[in-house]
Amino acid sequence: MYLTPMQTLLMILAVAAGTQLTRWLPFLLFPENRCPPAVVTYLGRVLPTAVMGLLVVYCLKSVSVFQAPYGLPELVAVAAVVILHKWKGNVLLSIAGGTVLYMLLVQAVFA
């Protein structure tokens, strides 16, 4: 599909406007001097955990425990994430450590 320069410019402007709107809208709707609604506070408290749970389910949904390597790389990596997080309490370290360990396992150990 070929776009004219004007269509390209309009598309870039629309994406930039949408990006800016999503960045500034929370500050306009919920200024610092006002308390946010209870539902927003609730969602801010429960959504991070729900999203992490959803990501774990999504990542593990296609793991087969009936064929080699029987889900061992995934199990070891998940255990490493839990152990790192309990030990250090750092989300970034836990996720990065688990990812690096998983990649090592699937590319070098269980290849």
pLDDT tens per residue across span 13-50: 999 999 999 999 999 999 999 999 999 999 999 999 99
- State the CB neighbour count (10 A cutoff) for residue 96: 13
Tell me how far apart the alpha carbons of residues 81 and 59 are, in angstroms, rounded to a whole number: 14
Following DSSP, what letter does each residue of 61-89 receive, concatenated?
TT--SSSTTTTHHHHHHHHHHHHHHHHH-
Instruction: Using the predicted structure, report yes or no on whether residue 1 has a pLDDT greater than 90.
Output: no
Tell me how far apart the alpha carbons of residues 17 and 25 are, in angstroms, rounded to a whole number: 12
Here the tokens at position 61 are: 């949904």
What is the reported pTM? 0.67
Bond from prior residue into 36 cis (ω within 30 degrees of 0): no
